[in-house]
Amino acid sequence: MISEDLHKMAHTLDGGNADFGEARLNLLQVIEEGNRALGKKCLLHRLVYVAKLHENLHDKRDLGSHYETKFKQWQNHFQGEGATGMLLVYPNHLIHLVESSTEMLSSVIRDLRDQSQHIGGAHLVSNSKILVLSSNVPTRLFNQWSFRVLNLPASRLEEYDTTEPIEKLAPECLALMLKLGTYLAKQPKVTLKNVMDSLHEKVPDLLIPQDLLGYLLNSKELCSPTEFLDRYDQPFDVILDQGEHFVSINRPVCFNAHLSIAHHTSPYTQDKVRILFWFP
């Protein structure tokens, strides 16, 4: 039965052509292709973080230039998935959604850590928090990476008034970003630029309130890039039921005390997203 299935697979991959041409696959090639497919890792993940703009940042467009340069460098280095997403720059804060590979997203987080620790030349943000990290994303929501500086009045320095826990606020913020991405994907290409330049006028209900971004940044329940990377980089030792030990190197630490996992099915993308909330 297995042999018959493999022959059928070979016939299908060959396009049903009975002629022995150069494009015909043999049984060994079919088996090897199946093994590669089984061992293939998920290449696409989604990161969302918030940050406070550095007080010495005079031109907010420098943020866009910084990431355009970094994404090109990282893609050339890792030779993997490119970056797509949206960077929204507020008067005092930003929120950034990036879709790419694990290596690319890890580089984004390390770059944030270096900026907070004043390492290197770029000091664009002074504080940042990892909002959500979605793994095993089946499809991209954005076709390209872009950024916009929102023409909004500066938020008043009032504390965001809410009784909702971070576990609820974080998915709500993600839902707004997904709604915005879906809205932009439906726009004709000829009018897309004009729509993106006037988001605060056309879809203000899809923009996360500035005060909420500040509230998230002040939350002690969300990880900073440094805290996230400390857990990501350190090895951990797990004791199994039979007293055996399982050691993992260079993997995120997922202890229950530090990690809450929620499964969120977005009505805007029809994708089931595994959202990781990292707590200190």
Position 269 scores a pLDDT of 40
257 φ/ψ angles, rounded to the nearest 5 degrees: -70, -20
Position 118 scores a pLDDT of 72
Residues 101, 42 contacting (CB under 8 angstroms):
no
Three-state SS for 175?
Answer: helix
Nearest CA-CA partner of 132 in 50, 42, 212 = 50
d(CA 1, CA 60): 63
d(CA 216, CA 129): 8
Do strands 84-89 and 245-248 pair parallel, antiparallel, or not at all (unpaired)? unpaired
Position 155 scores a pLDDT of 59
pTM of this prediction exceeds 0.85: no
Nearest CA-CA partner of 32 in 1, 5, 2, 10 = 10
d(CA 187, CA 63): 25
Nearest CA-CA partner of 86 in 180, 170, 171, 198 = 180
At position 33, the amino acid (one-letter code) is E
pLDDT in tens, the chain (280 residues): 544 554 554 455 444 444 444 556 655 556 556 655 555 555 789 999 999 998 888 899 999 999 999 999 998 898 877 899 999 999 999 999 999 988 999 999 999 998 887 776 667 998 899 988 888 888 899 989 999 999 887 655 456 667 788 888 888 898 999 999 999 999 888 888 888 888 988 999 999 998 899 889 988 889 999 998 888 776 655 555 555 544 433 344 333 223 333 333 444 343 333 344 443 3
- Residue by residue, DSSP assigns 103-139 as HHHHHHHHHHHHHHTT-SS---EEEEEEEEEEES--S
Position 34 scores a pLDDT of 60
Position 232 scores a pLDDT of 75
Position 21 scores a pLDDT of 46
What letters, b where the CB count within 10 A reaches 16 and e where it falls short, cover 246-269?
eeeeeebbeeeeeeeeeebebebb
d(CA 105, CA 165): 26
Sheet order of strands, 272-278 included: 145-149, 84-89, 93-100, 45-53, 125-135, 272-278, 259-265
Residues 199, 177 contacting (CB under 8 angstroms):
no
- Dmax (CA) for the chain in angstroms is 74
Residues 130, 47 contacting (CB under 8 angstroms):
yes
